[in-house]
């Protein structure tokens, strides 16, 4: 059975509508959302309402968490001070716009969703704020999937879709203890094959193109398709400017700018 995974909708209604209709056209009825329903974009209530109407199971994203908990993320969530200032502006605007009912809905979202050996998270199993970038240390990447006891980990948060298969892993260790300091025991651990699937972003793509992205996973074949869906970018850009959000968010949607605000340190985990 094929199922669709969407992430990082970011209050972009036009993009969400386009992606949902693409999914519907394929006859796919199981959809999972990896969070970040709001933030950056101009239609937070409309997007949350649509996710609720369609009863799409969703994890809590970093923006969803911050909107309900108040902004307590350390600066590490933002790659630059400028990005942080803009982020705060968008945060404040979104918090003002969101209905209490929709805030309560975001607050009720779980950190993770699990279906058999598939695990769905926003950033990583550790944190909604951790970036799992496509070329991060392979052992660290595998550790995230393995510690979470999953075969395939679906994540978002980076806004760049990818599929990474980790395989043929082996670690050899020599263990020394006071009981037997000279004759060190050798141990070998064969690592299992695991996959990380990043669903990209519906509402704020940063993969170098303006199209919304999401993924379709066929559980029978294991195949993962990365989908790109064109949508009415100008409709969202106009709305961003109309409601008074920073125009750079519209600029970014128009350019699908790849490296606009990328976090550098994939392994950094906020200690708050």
Partner 1 sequence: MARWALVSGLQGDLALYEAIQRDLRQLGRVDTLFVLGDLIGPDRDANALLDRLQDPRRGELAPQCIYGWWEDQLLAERGYRGERRADPLRQQFGQAAVEALQEAVDPGHLAWLAALQFGFIELDCALLHGSSADVGDWLGPESSPLLLLDRLTRMDVNRLFTARSGEQFCVELAGGGIASTVRDLAGERQLQQVVPQRKVIGIGGGLRYSLYDPGSERIAFRSVGQQPGSRGRGFA
Contact residues for Zn ion, defined by CB under 5 A: 8, 36, 61-62, 157
Residue 188 contacts which entry, partner 1, Zn ion, none (Cβ below 5-8 A, type-dependent): partner 1
Judged by beta carbon, residue 188 or residue 271, the one nearer Zn ion is 271
Q: At what angle do helices 233-243 and 13-25 cross, to 10 degrees?
A: 150
191 binds partner 1 (CB under 8 A): yes
What is the C-alpha to C-alpha distance for residues 75 and 89, in angstroms, rounded to an integer? Answer: 15
Binding to partner 1, residues 81-140 (CB under 8 A): 126, 134-135, 137-140
Q: Of 223, 216, 174, 168, which Cα lies nearest the Cα of 190?
A: 168
Judged by beta carbon, residue 29 or residue 223, the one nearer partner 1 is 223
Q: Of 98, 101, 106, which Cα lies nearest the Cα of 122?
A: 106
Interface pick for partner 1 out of 95, 166, 260, 270 (rule CB under 8 A): 166
Phi, psi of 79 (to 5 degrees): -75, -15
- Those residues whose C-beta lies under 8 Å from the C-beta of residue 133, and which sit 6 or more positions away, are 158, 160, 266
* Closest CB 210 distance from partner 1, rounded Å: 12
Residue 62 contacts which entry, Zn ion, partner 1, none (Cβ below 5-8 A, type-dependent): Zn ion
Listed ranges 12-20, 40-48, 111-119, 174-182: which one lies at the site for partner 1 (CB under 8 A): 174-182
What is the β-pairing status of strands 2-6 and 31-33? parallel
- Those residues whose C-beta lies under 8 Å from the C-beta of residue 190, and which sit 6 or more positions away, are 169, 170
Residues near partner 1 (CB under 8 A) are: 126, 134-135, 137-143, 146-147, 160-178, 181-182, 184, 186-189, 191, 207-209, 213, 226, 228, 267, 269, 271-272
């Amino acid at each position: 059975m094929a199922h669709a995974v969407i992430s990082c909708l970011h209050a972009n209604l036009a993009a969400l509508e386009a992606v949902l209709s693409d999914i519907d056209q394929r006859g796919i009825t199981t959809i999972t959302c990896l969070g970040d329903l709001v933030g950056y974009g101009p239609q937070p209530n409309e997007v949350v309402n649509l996710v609720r109407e369609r009863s799409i199971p969703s994890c809590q994203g970093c923006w969803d968490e911050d909107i309900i908990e108040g902004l307590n993320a350390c600066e590490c969530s933002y790659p630059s001070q400028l990005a942080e200032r803009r982020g705060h502006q968008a945060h404040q605007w979104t918090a003002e716009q969101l209905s209490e009912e929709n805030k309560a809905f975001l607050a009720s979202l779980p950190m993770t969703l699990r279906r058999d050996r598939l695990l769905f998270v926003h950033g990583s199993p550790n944190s909604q704020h951790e970036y799992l970038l496509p070329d991060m240390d392979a052992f660290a990447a595998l550790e995230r999937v393995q510690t979470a006891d999953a075969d395939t980990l679906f994540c978002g948060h980076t806004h760049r879709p990818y599929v990474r298969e980790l395989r043929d892993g082996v670690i050899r260790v020599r263990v020394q203890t006071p009981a037997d300091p000279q004759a060190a025991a050798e141990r070998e651990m064969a690592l299992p094959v695991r996959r990380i699937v990043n669903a990209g972003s519906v509402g704020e793509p940063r993969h170098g193109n303006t199209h919304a992205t999401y993924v379709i996973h066929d559980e029978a074949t294991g195949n993962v398709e990365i989908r790109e869906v064109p949508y009415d970018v100008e409709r969202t850009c106009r709305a961003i400017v109309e409601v008074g959000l920073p125009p750079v968010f519209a600029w970014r949607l128009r350019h699908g700018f790849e490296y606009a605000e990328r976090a550098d340190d994939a392994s950094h985990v906020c200690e708050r």
